[in-house]
Structure 1
Amino acid sequence: KNQLSGSAVLTQLPASLEVLNLLDNQFSGALDLTRLPPNMSHLYAGNNSFSGTVDLSHLPQGLRRLCLSENELSGKVFISDALFDYVEVENTKLIKRHMK
């Protein structure tokens, strides 16, 4: 387990970034996923203290794994068939709503 803390600004990452692993740290604050790099395929942000709601409507098309579990996120998240298999939100207050 790492001890990195503070906020994580994900809106200004390098365009070529494909994998970002923030697992098992002490990051906190809002989690803005609306401007992730277009080539990102994996984002692991679980086991932190991210809070608030999260917008999953503007994820990169090539994203294959998104882990948000074990955070303090809340609200309803509408997840399409395409997203349903690779988005993890266990042990958060997010409620996955399946939509076609």
Structure 2
Amino acid sequence: MVVDFDSELWLWAARKTESWTFVSLPVEASDEIRDRTEGLRRGFGSVRVKASVGTSHWQTSIFPGGGDGAYVLPIKRAVRQAQKLEVGDVATVSVELIDL
């Protein structure tokens, strides 16, 4: 399953001083991911993914964490710098589930 979407970068409120930056997946896609990964999720409900933003590609996990039930994807500093993104910018993101 691949999910392509645009999302605004935001800081995790509990760790603003450490600049933990995320994007939220669409709620509908998050619901489908939850259905497809029943019994396959890891700690904290995480799901392993391949992620892409612009020319940056990496493997990580998405986590339940959006107040509206959306999964969230961490966008590491190296990706933000390579793609010239800051909090509040909108990124075009691709997420592919790995362990299906």
Q: Same fold (TM over 0.5)?
A: no
Larger helix fraction of residues: 2
Normalising by structure 1, report the TM-score.
0.23
Between 1 and 2, higher relative CO (CA 8 Å, sep ≥ 6) is seen in: 2
